[in-house]
Amino acid sequence: MQRAETVTFGGSGLNRAAELRDSSAQLALQAHNTAKTILFWRGKPLLCKQLDGGLGLAWVDLDHPSLGRPREPLVFLGLDDMAAPLFLADISSWEPEELPETLNAFLDPSEQFHPALINGEYFAELRVIMTLLSSRDAELAAMARGILEWHRTHGFCSACGGPSDMAMAGWQRNCSACNRSHFPRTDPVVIMLITHGNNVLVGRSHAWPEGMYSLLAGFVEPGETLEAAVRREVLEESGILVGAVNYLASQPWPFPASLMFGCSGTALNKDITIDPNEIEDALWVSREDMVDIFEGVHPKIKPARKGAIAHFLLENWLSDCLN
């Protein structure tokens, strides 16, 4: 697929400089006079208005008071185009005066302002602003959110149950009890553009906002190819048999830790039989109706979220740009 890497979070050629993640290199990097860090609070990146009027990540110096005393641990993200070291700090221990009821909602619209940040910077949900970021900021934000979620959920050794400690600049956790090392994990997920003639198969989850439909998706199981996972998931959720399967594009999806493999597939039958334990509904949508959905004028169906690979694949299907 020619436009594959233009998907949101699709990558920007960031130099992750993995060779600099050892402890000796970290001391030199943190002392570098151009080093800077991005802040996250409970999964939300710190943002600011750009000179061109756009939105971008807000960076602070490593001695900024928002990092606290002692300073929060830093994760090394890589080097920018001028070889300046880029770091990540999680300041989720900070408690705002008020916590909104929407904080853990599917799409949290609230914004938080830290008292030590006085230039209009604010924390916002990545899902809300992801399409407004540059490709570099989007890659950094996805990487940062994913690595922080891994640290949040993997504080203990999966082998012996003992506590583990951050190592290798945040890209490893070590257990002092059994000497095991643990590394960030990404869950493979297939998401399927299944077509039958002029129609595409869409479905909706029970937890989604009213009217929202998207492409079917599911986790790849151990010992399973992407093609097999596509056929199994579509059959389980909708009763549709799939023939030929082709890979289209991938997208890191840090909500919490997935790598989405976008695939196309040709349906061998059209009668839908959903599994209500898997999805709430599934239906065929024609190209003409999908155009109305994308334009927001369809009477019943809302489009897949902008920035998600489902939206990207459907947009390219409508434009005949899958090949």
Are residue 9 and residue 137 in the same domain, yes or no?
A: yes
pLDDT score, position 53? 85
Domain end residue (candidates: 85, 120, 142):
142
Three-state DSSP string of 1-34: CCCHHHCCCCCCCCECCHHHCCHHHHHHHHHCCC
Domain count, the chain: 3
Residues 33 and 162 in one domain: no
Please say whether the beta carbons of 283 and 260 come within 8 A: no
Residue 199 belongs to some domain of the structure: yes
What CATH number should be reported for the domain holding residue 224? 3.90.79.10
Q: Are residues 248 and 171 in the same domain?
A: no
Nearest to 59, CA basis, from 84, 36, 83: 36
Neighbours of 238 (CB within 10 A): 27
Separation CA 267–CA 264 (nearest Å):
10
Q: Taking the CA of residue 64 as centre, how many other CA atoms within 13 Å lie in the half-sphere pointing to its CB?
A: 22
Number of neighbours of residue 19 by Cβ within 10 angstroms: 7
In a domain? residue 64: yes
Whether residue 111 is found in the same domain as residue 197: no
Tell me, yes or no, whether 148 lies in a domain. Answer: no
- pLDDT, tens only, 97-127: 888 888 877 789 999 999 999 999 999 999 9
Q: What three-state secondary structure class fits 76?
A: strand
Same domain for 165 and 226, yes or no, is no
**DSSP code at position 159:** T
User: Is 149 a member of any domain?
Assistant: no
Residues 197 and 179 occupy one common structural domain: no
Is residue 147 domain-resident? Answer: no
Q: Which domain holds residue 163?
A: 154-185
What distance in Å separates the CA atoms of residue 155 and residue 69, rounded to the nearest whole number?
22
User: pLDDT band at 310, cuts 50/70/90?
Assistant: very high
Helix, strand, coil shares of the chain, percent, nearest 5, are: 25, 30, 45
> Is 245 within the bounds of a domain?
yes
CA of residue 38 relative to chain centroid, distance: 17
pLDDT in tens, 220-259: 999 999 999 999 999 999 999 999 999 999 999 999 999 9
303 shares its domain with 236 = yes
Residue 323 lies in a domain: no
Distance of CA 58 to the CA centre of its chain: 19
Question: Tell me, what's the pLDDT at 41?
Answer: 96
Q: What are the tens digits of pLDDT across the range 259-309?
A: 999 999 999 999 999 999 999 999 999 999 999 999 999 999 999 999 999
Residue 265: closest CA among 215, 312, 308, 223: 215
The pTM is what?
0.92
pLDDT tens digit string along 140-199?
999 999 999 999 999 999 999 999 999 999 999 999 999 999 999 999 999 999 999 999
Could you give phi then psi for residue 314, rounded to 5 degrees? Answer: -65, -40
Cα 312 to Cα 25, 123, 221, 308: the distances in Å are: 39, 26, 25, 7
Q: Are residues 21 and 93 in the same domain?
A: yes
Residues 11 and 111 in one domain: yes
Tell which residue, 218, 143, 158, has the closest CA to residue 188.
218
